[in-house]
Structure 1
Amino acid sequence: MIVGTAGHIDHGKTALVRALTGVDTDRLKEEKARGITIDLGFAYLPGEAGEVTGFVDVPGHERFVHTMLAGAGGIDFALLVVAADDGVMPQTREHLAILDLLGIRRGIVALSKADLADRDRRAAVSVELRALLRGTGLADAPIVPVSVRSGEGIEALRQALAEAEAATPPPGESGAFRLSVDRSFTLAGAGTVVTGTVLSGAVAVGDNVVVSPGGLTARVRSIHAQNRPATRGVAGQRCALNLVGDGISREAVGRGDTVLDPALHAPTDRIDAVFRVLASEARPLSNAFPAHLHHGSAEVGVRVMPLAGPLELGAEGLVQLALDHPIAAAAGDRFILRDVSAQRTVGGGRFLDLRPPARRRRAPERLAQLEALQQPTPADAFARLLEVAPFQVELNNFARDHALRADEARRMAAAAGAVLIGADTPVALSLAHWEGFRSSLLGEIARFHEENPDLQGIGRERLRLLVQPRLPAPAFRAALDGLARDGAVVPEGAFLRLPTHEVRLDPADEALFSRIVPLLGGEARFRPPRVRDIANEFGVAETEVRRVLKACARLGRVDQVAHDHFFLRATTAEMVEIARDVARHAEDGIFTAASFRDRMDNGRKVAIQILDFFDRLGVTLRRGDLRRINPHRADLFGTPGEGEAPQPGQPASAPAGGEPSSTPPSRSTP
């Protein structure tokens, strides 16, 4: 259990921690000279059963509330200290408000300096405290009179803390690892050491981590958990991590950083949140309100934009936060806002979405998503999101932003009965919306066939934009692959058709095409005769030959590479494989038209026509006179080589290109 002190300056927080633990948390020379706490202090109290209670001692001076906030973010239990002679003071109220905004629901009020107050004074202060605590998370906290001079109440307080420690659930390892850094220093013989509270997950010696938001990578050389050497640190513990890595130093890593699992490194400078304005504010919270945001140990300037008009005093509502620079955070994290002069706490709340839209942030669809994200657990939020537009959740992104491990996210999706589409970047749909998607897709294809009976099928991208719910292109391709394996649809290059749909030639056209096929195949397949040459060969009108070949192109038998140049489909697939092989042997996968022409041995003009055809279909990506294979369209005429990696410069999750500008190919293997 981590205990955080709170209370007004000179009310005896540090002296009380020293009486409980024997540790003086004022370690700075200036702190000892002035007799006040300036920075965070730490102490530990071993228990009889081997457990260790950690203490975070915070400053009480109003000038150091920002430091208090850096230590309050990771505590489990509050020790609110109020001097019996002074009673409730300004920082008593502000610290209590902060604890309430941070969601602290467990704590004890220590009525310090009890030796300076008689029975009546103690009773009066206790009544004042009960009134102050009413309506907060600490409303039922016990009030324990203590005196570090006489020893009164110290043992009772220690026992109460031991009982709270025993009632604290054992440290868990759920979630991905995050540690909020509140201190960084150099240790002789070890190097850089950072300390902080583990917010989620677990870390072990030898693990690779990232210091976010800066992005420095490091390895954990050793760990101290709850002030003891350990091989692992888990959520709820205070840990010291000895980090090693390029660029890792005391100056490079410090308060405000978060050490985390590399999968979580995705800093953000725009966040949607639910926020409560303190009733003590002078006026409602208006648009673009400037403030200081405190999250964990980080502090950053922010502008607050209420999403439903000004927020009234004491009210709670949705806001968008525009930060001056990125921070590392997770959905569900608590935060505090203070005014720009650092004189008062404005309010606090909870992060909902780390990647909100900057535009249409008040649209009804968006507000419905934020309502879903307000659910108490990630699993509840996930289930609700599946039921509001756009009726889908990108599982990896949801897991990252909620600090979940990949296996936890998969189990969460399974528990919600979600259908996952795609392997690497799965998109989740509810079973009902998956069935709706499937029905919509098959219905749109059937409607296209009815309106265009002589066309082989509908373009994939055109279909994606028609089907509801609309999926991202990678997920749509994965869904089509599954439906094709099930036999529900037949993919033909960039087009799709139903298994029952087939366009046929009439007998006369079929007979003419059977005469043309030998001329397009064989050794001359890479330089087939043009339409006029075929027409002259058979004594048939050129328009008739062109009409039949265009009809066969719609059937996927041939491809119209140029106006008068048709190639058999098998030849097109062979030429794609040749282009792929040329690219494989070229530096960085980038090749010239000349290198392709040399392999084809069919002349520069025809080779250029073929490459232009590939460009239009997105099989190749052209820049100037250079080309490379588009790995997401390379299977358009057949299955690419097993295990082939994306080409340099092409992200693995990039969507496929748009619709081709010429007659599409057909019957590619999904």
Structure 2
Amino acid sequence: MKHIIIGTAGHVDHGKTALIKSLTGVDTDRLKEEKERGISIELGFTQLTLPSGKKAGIVDVPGHERFIKNMLAGVGGIDLVLLVIAADEGVMPQTREHLDILQLLQVKQGIVVLTKVDLVDEEWLGLVTEEVKEFLKGTVLEKAPVVPVSSVTGEGLPELLKLIDKAVDDTEEKISTGKLRLPIDRVFSVTGFGTVVTGTLLSGKISLGDTVQIMPQGLLSRVRSLQVHGQKVEQARAGQRTAVNLTGVEVDQVKRGNVLATPNSLTPSHRLDVKLLLLESVSKSLSNRERVRVYLGTDEILGRVRLLDREELEPGQEVFAQLEMEEQVVAGKGDRFVIRSYSPMRTIGGGTVIDPNAPKHKRFRPEVLAALATKEQGTPDELIDQFLTGKQGLFTLEELAAATGLPGTEVDQAIKDLADKVKVIPTDKEDLFVASQVYRQWGLEVQKMAENYHREFPLREGYPKEEMRSRKFAFVSSKNFLYLLQALQKDGYIVVFEKTMASPTFKSQLSAAQQKQVDALVKAMMDGNLQPPSWNELVKKMKLKDTEAQEYLQYLLRRGDLVKIGDDLYLAAERFKQGRRLIVDFLKEHQEISVAQTRDLLQTSRKFALPLLEYLDRERVTRRVGDNRVLGAEAAKIS
């Protein structure tokens, strides 16, 4: 079933709330102050059942100029607007401001409702109707039908309902696939249940038990219960007015303007790249760095406008700009926004978000403007190519879709079209993507870093993987970094070992002097049989520098010339094998061996006998039983 949200707009006291009550039987003025003053201050919500049986949510917004920010919080999620104009007064200041807002938000589906027709005669009604049609020329509602009604007598209400029914059929439904986005317009607490938030579900769906994230704070919560128009449901879909009962979150941790989202699907930012229009009706130009009020979704944020190609924006002009917010916000590519002057507060412009996570741009740069033009109007291929070329990272298809605002199917096709420009890195779960030129640059840089490392440490196997990641690829997770290394090895940039990587041409070679030192170290360890000197004793005896000695030690361990059996205790590999063979043979004949027997068998000391047995325990060649050892599972493999 299609889910549509209808919103009202219009000047204060033009009969919006009375109209909704006549259509639905519900008074959306819920606050005591609203009842006393006879005007809507906050947003009102209800549901309308149409003659066809279809249902639509209704958002009743305040018309008083002091509450325009509340109006903006409700109008962002609507699909169809009822622009309400009182027949006895005609077009008034907030009528104009509300229409400006509808124009800036591009709410194209609408019906103009002339209310209070019971207060005027036919001639006056005709004059007002003509005035309204003239007023709407050149706007998004230029072709909207105009319906005269009376909430008192009921005149025109059946015709209005038929028009709404038809408009609902013609209205495009919001997308229920993709990530959850629900801009929050109300937050309150229910005794026994805790925090409840409401809003219009812009995309995706939400189900009982789902884990959700409150942005931009990043708070995680779980959905305890759901309601759509007062009815408990197990799932809500895009286009529905939804109330969400959240667990683990206090009321004071959430506010209007926050967004309920799929975890990790939105990234908070202080900067938005935008296409900005200054309304032709405003009285003065907008200066670079001017402070404004930005209305995005249900949020109101203070910020400054950075004009990228001029010092002042004249009324009626449209340009690329950057909004620098005083607080973090979350947005999606293509989101519409409105700006109002800081003081006095009046609607002066708005536009479209081009990049919701924009870097700071230098002004008066043609390449910056060209890039923004591509982001705004480019083909899927151009958008994917531009994004990947300008980014250091590995991205999933889902992340590319979120960054470019494109559907996943279009991203997938664009990647296929850009086969020569996009490097695909397979993983166990999903492919990762990077621009081919970025990938090639990475490969050359990693290879060069490895070669420099080899020159500095010629005895080492290669550059440590984790050190390479932290220095060069901190933006890539440890797991994805391993997939990247596999790809770089396959393409011949590097050779990958268990913990290191090396240049494909690298071979560890000792100089004549180094070979002499290594031979002397191995001979000393061999001569010591199964009771050789400790490594530190040997280093001192041979007068080696600590750094040099450490390089030799790691080299000999990696080559397998030495075996480490304990702290600062090493055996020549050949002597180790001899000792292991003697212990295994003894156990085959006597079934068990003690530390003292091991010491005597190997003609060594307890200092070496016990660590050697513990080493063999770890290798499962022996197994400890009480104070003795017996044969372990791996003993049969010892020849």
- In structure 2, the residue matched to 1:340 is 342
Query: What is the letter of the counterpart of residue 269 of structure 2?
Result: T
1:328 aligns with one of 317, 327, 330: 330
Query: What is the letter of the counterpart of residue 327 of structure 2?
Result: H
- In structure 2, the residue matched to 1:128 is 131
- In structure 2, the residue matched to 1:256 is 257
- In structure 2, the residue matched to 1:569 is 555
- In structure 2, the residue matched to 1:296 is 297
- In structure 2, the residue matched to 1:90 is 93
Report if the CA contact (8 A) 2:62-2:70 is conserved: yes
Structure 1 window deviating more from structure 2 (126-135 vs 413-422): it is 413-422
Which string of whole-angstrom CA distances, capped at 9 and with x for unpartnered residues, describes residues 235-259 of structure 1?
A: 11110112222x423x443322222
Structure 1 window deviating more from structure 2 (274-283 vs 261-270): it is 261-270
The 3 A distance-change label for structure 1 pair 80 and 380 is: farther
Q: 1: distance between equivalents of 2:563 and 2:24?
A: 74
1:398-547 paired onto structure 2 within 5 Å: 418-421=422-425, 428-430=433-435, 433=437, 437=441, 478-485=483-490, 487=492, 489-491=494-496, 496-498=502-504, 515=519, 518-519=522-523, 527=535
Which string of whole-angstrom CA distances, capped at 9 and with x for unpartnered residues, describes residues 539-575 of structure 1?
A: xxx9xxx9xxxxxxxxxxxxx9427962352515899
The 3 A distance-change label for structure 1 pair 3 and 520 is: farther
Name the SS of the counterpart of 1:321 in structure 2. Answer: strand
Indicate whether 1:29 and 2:32 are aligned: yes
Name the SS of the counterpart of 1:82 in structure 2. Answer: strand
Aligned-residue offset at 1:136: 2.5
Report if the CA contact (8 A) 1:263-1:400 is conserved: no
Aligned CA-pair RMSD: 4.6
The 3 A distance-change label for structure 1 pair 601 and 576 is: closer
Report if the CA contact (8 A) 2:444-2:493 is conserved: no
2:242 aligns with one of 239, 243, 247: 239
1:191-340 paired onto structure 2 within 5 Å: 191-245=194-248, 247-249=249-251, 251-264=252-265, 266-309=267-310, 310-340=312-342
Which string of whole-angstrom CA distances, capped at 9 and with x for unpartnered residues, describes residues 237-284 of structure 1?
A: 110112222x423x4433222222222364333323221111122332
Q: 2: distance between equivalents of 1:109 and 1:376?
A: 35
The 3 A distance-change label for structure 1 pair 119 and 420 is: farther
Aligned-residue offset at 1:159: 0.8
Which string of whole-angstrom CA distances, capped at 9 and with x for unpartnered residues, describes residues 279-329 of structure 1?
A: 122332212211111122211211221122232221222222222222333
Indicate whether 1:179 and 2:182 are aligned: yes
Which string of whole-angstrom CA distances, capped at 9 and with x for unpartnered residues, describes residues 340-380 of structure 1?
A: 12531021122233333346476555544433332489x56
Structure 1 window deviating more from structure 2 (433-442 vs 488-497): it is 433-442
Q: 2: distance between equivalents of 1:113 and 1:380?
A: 53
Aligned-residue offset at 1:202: 0.9
Query: What is the letter of the counterpart of residue 519 of structure 1?
Result: K
In structure 2, list runs of 5 or more residues that go unmatched: 571-639
Q: 2: distance between equivalents of 1:410 and 1:255?
A: 36
Aligned-residue offset at 1:124: 3.3
Query: What is the letter of the counterpart of residue 423 of structure 2?
Result: V
Query: What is the letter of the counterpart of residue 548 of structure 2?
Result: A
The 3 A distance-change label for structure 1 pair 565 and 153 is: closer
Name the SS of the counterpart of 1:195 in structure 2. Answer: strand
Indicate whether 1:599 and 2:575 are aligned: no
1:10 aligns with one of 7, 10, 13: 13
Q: 2: distance between equivalents of 1:120 and 1:485?
A: 83
1:61 aligns with one of 39, 59, 64: 64
Q: 2: distance between equivalents of 1:6 and 1:408?
A: 36
The 3 A distance-change label for structure 1 pair 534 and 140 is: same
The 3 A distance-change label for structure 1 pair 448 and 34 is: closer
- In structure 1, the residue matched to 2:117 is 114
- In structure 2, the residue matched to 1:630 is none
Q: 1: distance between equivalents of 2:111 and 2:391?
A: 46
Structure 1 window deviating more from structure 2 (146-155 vs 481-490): it is 481-490
Name the SS of the counterpart of 1:141 in structure 2. Answer: coil
Report if the CA contact (8 A) 2:296-2:337 is conserved: yes
Which string of whole-angstrom CA distances, capped at 9 and with x for unpartnered residues, describes residues 475-513 of structure 1?
A: 7774332131455533478664345x768779x889868
Which string of whole-angstrom CA distances, capped at 9 and with x for unpartnered residues, describes residues 27-57 of structure 1?
A: 2222222221111111211246653111111
The 3 A distance-change label for structure 1 pair 532 and 168 is: same
Q: TM-score, normalised by structure 2?
A: 0.72
Q: 2: distance between equivalents of 1:481 and 1:77?
A: 53
Q: 2: distance between equivalents of 1:515 and 1:312?
A: 82
Name the SS of the counterpart of 1:220 in structure 2. Answer: strand
Aligned-residue offset at 1:99: 0.8
Name the SS of the counterpart of 2:313 in structure 1. Answer: coil
Name the SS of the counterpart of 1:313 in structure 2. Answer: coil
Query: What is the letter of the counterpart of residue 300 of structure 2?
Result: E
Which string of whole-angstrom CA distances, capped at 9 and with x for unpartnered residues, describes residues 50-76 of structure 1?
A: 531111111111111111001111111
Name the SS of the counterpart of 1:318 in structure 2. Answer: strand
Report if the CA contact (8 A) 1:445-1:498 is conserved: no
Query: What is the letter of the counterpart of residue 562 of structure 1?
Result: E
Name the SS of the counterpart of 1:264 in structure 2. Answer: coil
Q: 1: distance between equivalents of 2:83 and 2:347?
A: 18
Query: What is the letter of the counterpart of residue 57 of structure 1?
Result: D
Which string of whole-angstrom CA distances, capped at 9 and with x for unpartnered residues, describes residues 185-240 of structure 1?
A: 33344333221111221110111223333444322122112443211111111101
The 3 A distance-change label for structure 1 pair 443 and 483 is: closer
Q: 2: distance between equivalents of 1:397 and 1:306?
A: 29
- In structure 2, the residue matched to 1:150 is 153
Query: What is the letter of the counterpart of residue 342 of structure 2?
Result: V
Which string of whole-angstrom CA distances, capped at 9 and with x for unpartnered residues, describes residues 567-612 of structure 1?
A: 352515899998xxxxxxxxxxxxxxxxxx972348xxxxxxxxxx
Report if the CA contact (8 A) 2:423-2:433 is conserved: yes
Name the SS of the counterpart of 2:72 in structure 1. Answer: helix
Number of residue pairs matched by the alignment: 550
Aligned-residue offset at 1:19: 1.7
Report if the CA contact (8 A) 1:445-1:496 is conserved: no
Aligned-residue offset at 1:170: 4.7
Report if the CA contact (8 A) 1:182-1:297 is conserved: yes
Name the SS of the counterpart of 1:128 in structure 2. Answer: helix
Query: What is the letter of the counterpart of residue 110 of structure 2?
Result: G
Structure 1 window deviating more from structure 2 (163-172 vs 278-287): it is 163-172
Q: 1: distance between equivalents of 2:6 and 2:519?
A: 89
Query: What is the letter of the counterpart of residue 292 of structure 2?
Result: A
Report if the CA contact (8 A) 1:218-1:248 is conserved: no
In structure 1, list runs of 5 or more residues that go unmatched: 536-541, 547-559, 579-596, 603-670
Q: 2: distance between equivalents of 1:304 and 1:490?
A: 50
Aligned-residue offset at 1:386: 4.2
Q: TM-score, normalised by structure 1?
A: 0.69
The 3 A distance-change label for structure 1 pair 267 and 479 is: closer
Query: What is the letter of the counterpart of residue 484 of structure 2?
Result: A
Report if the CA contact (8 A) 1:372-1:381 is conserved: yes
- In structure 2, the residue matched to 1:349 is 351
Report if the CA contact (8 A) 1:109-1:143 is conserved: yes
Report if the CA contact (8 A) 1:264-1:401 is conserved: no
Indicate whether 1:190 and 2:193 are aligned: yes
Structure 1 window deviating more from structure 2 (364-373 vs 227-236): it is 364-373
The 3 A distance-change label for structure 1 pair 577 and 209 is: farther
The 3 A distance-change label for structure 1 pair 482 and 517 is: farther
Which string of whole-angstrom CA distances, capped at 9 and with x for unpartnered residues, describes residues 625-657 of structure 1?
A: xxxxxxxxxxxxxxxxxxxxxxxxxxxxxxxxx
